[in-house]
Structure 1
Amino acid sequence: MKIDPWGSVRIEDYSKLFDEFGIARFEGMLRKLPDAHRLMRRKVIFGHRGYEMIVDAIVRGEPFAVMSGFMPSGKVHLGGKMVMEEIIYHQQMGGDAFVAIADMEAHSVRGISWRDCERLGVEEYILSLIALGFKPEGHIYFQSKSRTIQDLLFELGCGVNFTELSAIYGLKSDTKISHLTSVLAQSADILQPQLEEFGGPKPTVIPVGADQDPHIRLARDVANRMRMFFVEAREGYISIRGKDIDKKMLEKLEQMFDCKSKLYEAHLDLYGDYTLDEVDRIVREFEIKLGGYGFIPPASTYHRFMSGLTGGKMSSSIPESFIALTEPPESAARKVMRAKTGGRVTLKEQQELGGIPEDCSVYDLLLFHLVEDDHEVEEIYRECVNGKRSCGTCKKLAAELITGFLKDHQDRREDARLRLKEYEVVGVI
């Protein structure tokens, strides 16, 4: 199974992501969260990597961050809204929020001009993000205008080679250097919240669609690679191994622990009551004093893709397949009324056999975005599969709700335009 962040691959079997890429099922996180998001409760967010540490931070009221980004290559649609909602949810739960406008990626991969990157970044993405509830204390920036990202990108590039990127992304030998640079810029985006200027190492979650997992895997690998020390639990003790560290540094590190220890040329073993997390925290603090980063591998959540209104995956090249947050509400309503459903050929067959909501773009609209009440969504599902609900009924409901949502959202976007200066977006004067 190949996952391409820049392709138009439609994932038919999400279970393969668990088996082939090591993504964990999200269901186990639900009972631990004090207030799970709608997309989590409805299993739209289906998988994660390392999200346990985010749950712990939320429950304990400890620092954590949320980060994701948007490539400004066209109109923002409902798929982008999902990511925005996930960012805003984690910000509301206490996370320090970071949003990248990935103009380097748009310019190098899609050929979008810098001027259009800035225009689309502000007009399409940033205004909608603010309209949906993003708070001013969050961080919004354009990759190409952030000196912090440029510096971190360069440092990360010292530890990654083309062969590794090719293995992760399936890149060919004719891949442009600027494309490779934009890939590393995304790792810099993901790790930036853990820099000292933003409070140092902390659990960080990256909400993405499943097709973006290669970026997560690279960033997690790079985070480990940038460490100066490796901490691991052994049977009866904890071992700390230095990376290109002389014995004198290990001697200084040894003095920070009040327990029995044994020092070797390249590693230090601890025997005592320290937990692995406690040792790792102390080692990270020591590493930062030496000029290191002490990165924690980032966590991630993965959401399912909405069905395109015309069937298959949403595509920017097929306007009828998606609903943009900036398009006229009447246009969106017309698209809904023409959308592909999971209904039967005739009303009689629908009543006898029931519909197939799992194969219905209109039901996806209701499930993902338009109906807040979980019980109402469940009732719609039951009535559909039992043949008690027609496709026309759902279409009319969805058309009415999308019209109302877009009118309200576009009013909020105009208010966001007036408030834009509150947000100090890096790259926008």
Structure 2
Amino acid sequence: MSSKMEPGPDAPSDNNNDDDEKYGGDFKVTPWEVEGEVDYNRLVEKFGTQPITQELLQKVKGMVGEIHPMLKLGYFFSHRDFDWVLDKKDKGENFYLYTGRGPSGMVHMGHVMPWIFTKYLQDKFDAKLLFQLTDDEKFLYGQDRTREEIKKYTYENILDIIAIGFNPKKTRIIVDTKHIQHLYPLATEIAKRITFSTAKAVFGFNNSTNIGMIGFPPVQAAPCFLPSVIEGKNTPVLIPAAIDQDPYWRMTRDVADRMGYYKPAQIHSKFLPGLGMLGKMSSSRPETAIFTTDAPEVVEKKVVSAFTGGQPTVALQRQLGGNALGCPVFWYLRYFFDTEKQSDERLLKCRSGNLLCGECKSDLAKGARPFVAEFQKRREKARDVIPMFMYDGRPLEE
């Protein structure tokens, strides 16, 4: 297969040593860890991606009639060749969507956000979707998860994926250990073209890394090219995902030309902050994350206990105002429950001291409780339709 209109070039692969991981010395972003307060402008520079511009937003609007709030408000902020994929679509060439999840625990609202946006892309562009669950990676990474635990989380995560509302005719879920026969031929083609030196530079592997992890990246790369195999022709792929996964796609794009495929395009999201002080929402810190399976009283308790950008006392809050942009409660409300106008007003009121943290927490609890309750109903219904979504090697319906 030959690619006729090639996506743009990439920055060179970066060495993931400690100096490079600490961008500016105060935060860290790798496929397995996100620490500190992330400077997204610095991250764009470091990873060599492109910021999403107003021109690009208007192109999306011209094609589908609207700009999704997650794009307009900057939650999706960076890309590689998103404009190229849109040009392909504009000329009548359909693209696939590909995203994934490492089933290391239960799903929280930080995981759900990119999936909601992926559904928007599927609906607006009538796109087929491959959703990969990397259960093999989560078993291999670290020493604290058994195969049975990963199997349990994989099943639970599938319920969450289906509950998003993806089109069952155009969506297939791939579980690596279950569907490896469909991935392995491509994975070996990819692996043959990547040296250990390159993998070490991109992922920071060292002499203590188990060989399973060293061999894993081509498996995550394989779905980038699987649509071309399914369709029998070179097929563009767009990956909506958090930017911590970008090293996988940089590696994949490096070998795409040599394999005769299009380079996979990406659109990157930020991290939904945890309810603690710094960093993204994480399953490993359950007290700072709102899970899709949390009971209403648990949601309420987590919101009430959340860190905020407010002052230590009401008097100081009235006098000095709060730091809304450093407040996870503000970002939850902005991305999930406030309209753009409401959020902008909330920002001004917080900064001026005319809004107290308790009011924002109350608003978040009022929004999050019914959101989670409704999501749980859809999760229960998903139990009956799992086989419909699982990949079986056959072409997806038009």
Q: Is 1:225 the counterpart of 2:258 in the alignment?
A: yes
Identity of aligned residues (%): 31
Q: Is 1:215 the counterpart of 2:248 in the alignment?
A: yes
Q: Is 1:132 the counterpart of 2:164 in the alignment?
A: yes
Q: Deviations over 1:201-259 (max 9, x none)?
A: 22211112121111110111121232xxxxxxxxxxxxxxxxxxxxxxxxxxxxxxxxx
Q: Which residue of structure 1 aligns with residue 326 of structure 2?
A: 359
Query: 1:425 deviation in Å?
Result: 4.5
Q: Is 1:119 the counterpart of 2:145 in the alignment?
A: no
Contact 1:91 1:97 in 2 (8 A): yes
Q: Deviations over 1:159-199 (max 9, x none)?
A: 1111110011111023211102221111112322222x235
Q: Secondary structure at the match of 1:396?
A: helix
Contact 1:311 1:321 in 2 (8 A): no
Distance 1:139 1:349, change over 3 A: same
Q: Which residue of structure 1 aligns with residue 308 of structure 2?
A: 341
Q: Distance in 1 between matches of 2:67 and 2:92?
A: 16
Q: Is 1:96 the counterpart of 2:62 in the alignment?
A: no
Q: Is 1:24 the counterpart of 2:50 in the alignment?
A: yes
Structure 1 portions without partners, runs of 5+: 227-293
Q: Deviations over 1:260-303 (max 9, x none)?
A: xxxxxxxxxxxxxxxxxxxxxxxxxxxxxxxxxx3111111111
More deviation in 217-226 or 112-121? Answer: 112-121
Q: Which residue of structure 1 aligns with residue 14 of structure 2?
A: none
Contact 2:121 2:127 in 1 (8 A): yes
Contact 1:206 1:301 in 2 (8 A): yes
Query: 1:58 deviation in Å?
Result: 4.5
Structure 2 portions without partners, runs of 5+: 1-19, 22-28, 394-398
Contact 1:27 1:43 in 2 (8 A): no
Query: 1:116 deviation in Å?
Result: 2.9
Contact 1:67 1:207 in 2 (8 A): yes
Q: 1:15 aligns with which of 41, 46, 65?
A: 41
Q: Which residue of structure 2 aligns with residue 415 of structure 1?
A: 381
Q: Secondary structure at the match of 2:216?
A: helix
Contact 2:300 2:369 in 1 (8 A): yes
Give the alignment of 1:277-316 within 5 angstroms: 294-313=260-279, 314-316=281-283
Q: Which residue of structure 2 aligns with residue 248 of structure 1?
A: none
Distance 1:130 1:354, change over 3 A: same
TM-score normalised by L of structure 1:
0.79
Query: 1:424 deviation in Å?
Result: 3.2
Give the alignment of 1:4-403 within 5 angstroms: 4-10=30-36, 12-28=38-54, 29-34=56-61, 35-60=66-91, 62-92=93-123, 93-111=125-143, 112-123=145-156, 125-137=157-169, 138-146=171-179, 147-195=181-229, 197-226=230-259, 294-313=260-279, 314-371=281-338, 373-403=339-369
Q: Distance in 2 between matches of 1:129 and 1:86?
A: 12
Structural RMSD (CA):
1.8
Contact 2:95 2:236 in 1 (8 A): yes
Distance 1:58 1:150, change over 3 A: same
More deviation in 156-165 or 31-40? Answer: 31-40
Q: Secondary structure at the match of 2:241?
A: strand
Q: Which residue of structure 2 aligns with residue 268 of structure 1?
A: none
Contact 1:53 1:203 in 2 (8 A): no
Q: Which residue of structure 2 aligns with residue 254 of structure 1?
A: none
- Counterpart of 1:306, as a letter, is L
Query: 1:62 deviation in Å?
Result: 3.2
Q: Distance in 2 between matches of 1:347 and 1:9?
A: 30
Q: Distance in 2 between matches of 1:360 and 1:325?
A: 22
Distance 1:182 1:426, change over 3 A: farther
Contact 1:343 1:350 in 2 (8 A): yes
Distance 1:340 1:61, change over 3 A: farther
Q: Secondary structure at the match of 2:129?
A: strand
- Counterpart of 2:86, as a letter, is V
Contact 2:78 2:268 in 1 (8 A): yes
Distance 1:165 1:72, change over 3 A: same
Query: 1:343 deviation in Å?
Result: 0.9
Query: 1:11 deviation in Å?
Result: 5.0
